[in-house]
A = this chain, B = another copy of it.
Amino acid sequence: MSKNKIPYKTYLTEEELPKAWYNIRADMKTDHRPILNPGTLKPVTAEELAPVFCDELVKQELNDKDRFIEIPEEIRNFYKMYRPSPLVRAYCLEEALGTPAKIYYKYEGGNTSGSHKLNSAIAQAYYAKEQGLRGVTTETGAGQWGTAMSMACGYFGLDLKVFMVKVSAQQKPYRKAVMETYGAAVTPSPSDTTEIGRKILAKDPETGGSLGCAISEAVEAAVTTDGYRYVLGSVLNQVLLHQTVIGLEAKTAFEKLGEHPDIVIGCAGGGSNLGGLMGPFMAEKLAGKDAPYFLAVEPASCPTMTRGRFAYDFCDTGMVTPLAKMYTVGAQFIPSSSHAGGLRYHGMSPILSQLYHDGYIDEARSYNQTAVFEAATQFARVEGTLPAPESAHAIRAAIEEALKCKETGEAKTILFGLSGTGYFDMGAYMQYNDGSMTDNIPTDEDLERGFASLPNVPADI
């Protein structure tokens, strides 16, 4: 086997690091439907959001005008510790597949937090610090977001309270330890430190918790603690905005290579990774130019885009947040146990939902997790990097697309996002290795039960 093709990586210079994030809403033909106050069914205002989110982040959340939003210098300097991230040509994978396709991946796992989540975490911590806050609260399930936020708050000397889904804290004690090493206070959720937590515990003292409950506790802790706000790692517009640094760098790297992707593939949970990678390439399509084929990949166990509905829904299972118009399987839908924890969210970013609904995202596809781990293992062996289960959904799709090229003889250029590493997911790899991993796909009846929980919002809103 020849191993002589070079170079494997395209690095940008620090000067080529983007100076502004790309705000896709300014270019969208149809903006996403407004976020609603669940009581009044009226669009939420900046004033309503101010007790929950940092002021500057509220502005970004509601900004549908400015195409570019400058990245403050202190954030850019932090980015320089691990960015620009490499665009890698997967020569070894191509060779193993025998495909004429060119496969590239944008690699976001090369920082200690291990994923792309740090791109938004550092921005949110910066704005909190700038506002003179003492600290922030957040929730974490799989742990990537909590880890990234812990690093960011450690860097800026900001307090952080993380509500970690209790069953995750028990199953992943090392994730908890990483956050604590960075100085975060980690509370298994539900806890007796909040009213909502005590209420849930009174009902069911043995519950392992859920992301929805953790969100509710984190929001309550933020609004009831002086000098605190709440931060979130996906779904929101501000998060997608920050994550466009991924796609902007990838675009610049392709320009330097004199190439252009024919397909852009990203895994999709709440949408932070997919939106960040895809957004800047989507700009071409929104401007009516030739653009890549956009492919979103999700787990069959939580098929938001492939089997969900485009409807107003709560952003949390606790039903205390505003309503967003998005693809959803229903806030009460409980996905069966899947190790791609970061993709188990019931909804999808309103921006991406709108783009998918309007046909700008060409396709959504779902995979069983055993197929995903098969791809992850193949990738690790030939390319070296051990992917996060979430990212491996995109790998699976890239391999399938490359094998289609092998059949047709087309030499397509494929770009996918390798959003993170799988160091803290070895329990799932062990299950795959020993053959005990199963696929748990919801039945139509399971989905109907989720849809039944959708709030009743008149069609004309």
- Residues of A whose CB lies within 8 Å of any CB of B are 1, 3-9, 11, 14, 73-74, 77-78, 80-82, 88, 92, 110-112, 114, 151, 154-155, 157, 173-174, 177-178, 180-183, 377, 380-386, 421, 423-424, 426-427, 429-430, 433
Contact = CB atoms under 8 A, between A and B. Distances in A.
9 contacts: A4-B73, A6-B80, A112-B386, A154-B381, A155-B382, A177-B426, A177-B429, A180-B433, A181-B433
Contacts of A426: 173-174, 177-178
Nearest to A152: B384
Given A155-B381, A384-B112, A178 B4 contact: no
Copies of this chain present in the complex amount to 2
Contacts of A380: 112, 154, 181-182
A157 B1 contact: yes
Given A1-B157, A157-B1, A82 B384 contact: yes
Given A110-B110, A177-B433, A80 B7 contact: yes
Given A426-B178, A430-B177, A9 B80 contact: yes
Given A3-B74, A5-B77, A14-B6, A155 B384 contact: yes
The 7 A-B pairs with the shortest beta carbon distances in the complex, nearest first, are A174-B426, A154-B381, A423-B423, A177-B426, A177-B430, A112-B386, A3-B74
A77 B3 contact: yes
Nearest to A425: B174
Given A181-B386, A380-B112, A81 B3 contact: no
A286 to B, nearest CB: 33
Nearest to A421: B112
A173 B433 CA distance: 12
A385 B111 CA distance: 7
A354 to B, nearest CB: 35
A174 B430 CA distance: 8
Contacts of A111: 384
Given A155-B384, A380-B182, A381-B182, A4 B77 contact: yes
A8 B81 contact: yes
A143 to B, nearest CB: 11
Contacts of A424: 423
A114 B177 CA distance: 18
